[in-house]
Amino acid sequence: MKNAAFLMMIAGILMCASFALAASTPEQMAEKIHWFGQATVKIEMDGKSLYVDPLQLEKDDPADFIFITHAHEDHFSPNDIRKVMKDTTVFFAPKDVAETLQKQFEKATVIAVEPGMKREQDGFTVEVVPAYNVVKTKFHPKANNWVGYIFTTDGVRIYHSGDTERIPEMKEIACDIALLPLGQTYTMNSVQEAADAALDVKAKIAIPIHYGLYEGKTEDADAFAALLKDKMMVVIKTNE
C-alpha cells in the first residue's frame, strides 16, 4: 500500500510538472504575436495561425482563423483576406461584416459575433467585447455592436481592443497581454488615455497598435512605454 501511494504521489508530481512545462508565460506568448501595421496582427497558437483585421499584407501565410473587428476598410479588406484564407479558414465578425463575408466567400464558415459572446474553438477560447467611441461617436458608434476580442490560449489571455476609446467596460476585463490603439484621431483621444486603458484591463504586457498610418505617429509608442514604465512591460513591435 505504501509503495502504491508513493507511486501515485510521484505520478501526480510528474503530471503537475508536465502541465507547468507545457504552459506558456505572457512573455512567451508576446513573442508569438506579429504586428503588420494598423490593427493587423497574427497570433501563433498551438500550431494554428490567427489573424485579426488583415490589411496590406505582403506575406501570404495561410490563416486558420480570421477575426474582423468592424466594417471600416482599414480593418475589413477582402483583398487581403484572399491572400491568407484557405478552404478551411473560419471567420469571426460582427453581424454587418459577417453578412458581407458570406456573400463574397459563399463556401466559407462565417460566425457572426456580438459583445458578450464566448466560444470554445479548437483549443482556445474567444470572448467578444465591445469597442466604440464615447467622444468621437460618429466613427465607431456603440449601436453598431462592433467588437474587440479576448483570446485565451495555454492559460494566457490576449486582448485585441479593436477600434475604441477608453470605455467603462474595460474595467471588467482582465488580460495578460493588451493590444491597444494609440489613436488620437479615430480611436483613443491621447496616448495617456491608451495607457490608462492598459491599466484598466490589468495587463501584464501592453503592445501598442493602430498608429503610424492613418493616425498617430511612431514616437507615440515611445511615449506610451514611458507612461507605463514601472507599471507593466511594453513591447513595441516592428511592423512586419
pLDDT tens, the chain, 240 aa long: 555 544 455 545 444 444 344 468 999 999 999 999 899 999 999 889 999 999 989 877 899 999 999 999 999 999 999 999 999 999 999 999 999 999 999 999 999 999 999 999 988 999 999 999 999 999 999 999 999 999 999 999 999 999 999 999 999 999 999 999 998 889 999 999 999 999 999 999 999 999 977 777 889 999 999 999 999 999 999 877
All 3 cell numbers of residue 64?
486558420
Question: How many of the other CB atoms lie within 10 Å of CB of 34?
Answer: 18
> Are the CB atoms for 79 and 66 separated by under 8 Å?
no
Q: Are strands 33-35 and 41-45 parallel, antiparallel or unpaired?
A: antiparallel
Residue 44 lies in a domain: yes
Residue 10 lies in a domain: no
Residue 72 lies in a domain: yes
Residue 199 lies in a domain: yes
| pLDDT the model gives residue 10 | 52
| pLDDT the model gives residue 23 | 64
| pLDDT the model gives residue 203 | 98
C-alpha torsion sign, points 46, 96, 84, 88 = positive
Residue 18 lies in a domain: no
Residues spanned by the domain of 102: 25-234
> Are the CB atoms for 174 and 157 separated by under 8 Å?
yes
Helix residue ranges, H only, 40-172: 78-84, 95-104
Domain of 201, CATH number, reads 3.60.15.10
Number of domains in the chain: 1
| pLDDT the model gives residue 213 | 77
Give the residue among 56, 32, 39 at the shortest CA–CA distance from 153.
32
Residue 2 lies in a domain: no
